[in-house]
Structure 1
Amino acid sequence: MQKLTYNAIGLMSGTSLDGLDIAFCKFQMLPDQKWSWEIIECATKQYPDDIKIRLTKAIHLSGLDLHSLDVDLGRWMGSSVKEFITKKNLTVDFIASHGHTVFHEPENQLTLQIGNPNFLHAVTELPVISDFRTLDIAKGGQGAPLVPIGDALLFHEYDFCINLGGIANLSYENKENKRIAYDICACNILLNTLANSKGLEYDDKGSLAKSGNIIKSLLNEWDDFPYLKKKPPKSLGIEQIEPEILVKIDENKFKVEDMMATAVEHIASQISKTLISAKNEGKALFTGGGAFNSFLIDRIQSKLDHKYELVLGDEKTVNYKEALIFAFLGVLTVRNEWNTLASVTGAHSNSISGQKLGDI
């Protein structure tokens, strides 16, 4: 007989390199066959300087250096989680880890997430579920996005779920009641790169962008990114963003404030167009670090009419929704239930993704 309650830790290491998100979550299957959930404890652990520097260069590392980073990151993740569990005095069923994406090229059937799960398992002495993308890739899918099953089962009261992370992505149910989801455009990868050039981790509330002026020529170049014209299913990786988007940042030619204003306009335009093309009204939940960028949210709202309600999740949900959902993907793996949707990824069938280490 299936368990009805699960206490799991979800781990998320995003492309914006904000740190390792750790969320201890409780999931319960209710009598009406719907799920209740709660993020009980959470924390973001900053990367050690050595690991962060290597992560920023990961796509350019040799095979040996990349493997070394994989091991070191997995060991550090294990130590971070073990410390978190001890400090909070938690009883945990298992850990579900997304890992840190280095390569994502579904057209070549390649995806690589590092943070070696064997070392995570060995250090914590807890069951670990990882590698949620490869099976879908092997079935001809994009291996992304993975969050939509969580949107469908945990956040069904919203018409849209939009995550403003390193990459902005969207999830919604279409007229045929099929879950559709895909990456929209670069988001915090672009904004944080510009903020870093001013010695800032990020642009607090979008104040830097708000002080700048839009550069029309740069906006046109960013809006002309070929990925934006592709039809879903589709997914976006840093190896596409770096040569097509980030390469156009030029401090010798433009002021950082103006490039930031242009980046916000680009992101807001792409997100608003995406919402309008999906449905002509609805309630949209915004999460991820970009949801705290009030200037970006205001620019998105300005491009939509009153039929669209933009909702910001509470602080825990905004910061830890992806970690929460990876914990939930682990629950579905344990229950032997679909956690990767072919309607989203374009694979030839749904999948029960995730490799297990240890007894669950």
Structure 2
Amino acid sequence: MKVIQVRHAGGEYPVYVGQGLLGMTSILDRHLEGRVLVVSDQNVAKHYLDRLRPTLSRIQHKRKIILPAGEEYKTVASWQRILDELVELKAQRDATILALGGGVVGDMAGFAAASYMRGIRVIQMPTTLLAQVDAAVGGKTGVNHPQGKNLIGAFHQPAAVIADLDTLQTLDERDYRAGLAEVVKYGAIRDPGFFAWLDARADALAARVPDALVEAVYQSVRNKAEVVAADEKEAGQRALLNFGHTFGHALETFTAYQRYRHGEAVAIGMVLAARLSEFLGRCPTGTSDRLERLLQRLGLDTRLPADADPDRLLNLMRLDKKNRADQIRLILLDDIGQASVTPCPADDIREVLVK
């Protein structure tokens, strides 16, 4: 097991990375307080909820809520259901939410923890690769609005993150590949050495070789922890973690969250952002091809769908949270391992969308 400490304005918390962690009562016991609400979804609960029973059996006051699985259920209504369960539990400010699931469960449970009694503890227990390397770490929580992804939410740091890599062995192939897109992101924006390592171990990662997977998750969390420590609330460099996300979120919204996993949309978005970087002369020629080849080796599609509407996508991008003064601000590459936040003219963005 490896442990990374994530520092933030209010203190720090551990991220545990390893195998068999969900069944280790010694880890959970040191972080649990008060009454406990377990939040999971239908897909995850049937595989992993039982692994928490040795710990939960010692908790006198507890409840669970099993939500429908899928991005389309990341809504205000689902968040309200979690709050209702906390009220039924008679949870007080010392209560703890256990978020057992992927990014959707983690975001909603975290937002409920942030808003119930103005803040209670949440322990993130991510069961997807994407959540383990990104969504569960850093304190971003929220739900979607019909007009855009994650428009409603709050920053609320977890008390701990427990990333059990055993859960990745039952992960759907598409969900696993989608998580690899977020792993690649860290190398692309800030860690050229990690990008080179990923390029060398792409086949092993695609095959879920355990030692490669442990290293990939550890290095991803290390990178995320460094960014969060420097910029907890996305005032500066943390925005770099949204590389590919402005395009990706627009694509997810355009397809009503039905066609793409989040990481799949981000993979397409990263390539579009890299192409725009080259089009604007910000990075060396061939940078986008290098990124695209790695993503393709990991089994990810990198092209916009044939029915994509450039004007509709562009309008959706205008709602992105990074925008200021009606300017679309994107994360662009200066090179592999170097990125910056850049205001971009709509006409230039459209050029990339129509190619």
Instruction: State TM-score, norm by structure 2.
Output: 0.27
More helix by share: 2
Higher relative contact order (CA 8 A, sep 6+): 1
Instruction: State TM-score, norm by structure 1.
Output: 0.26
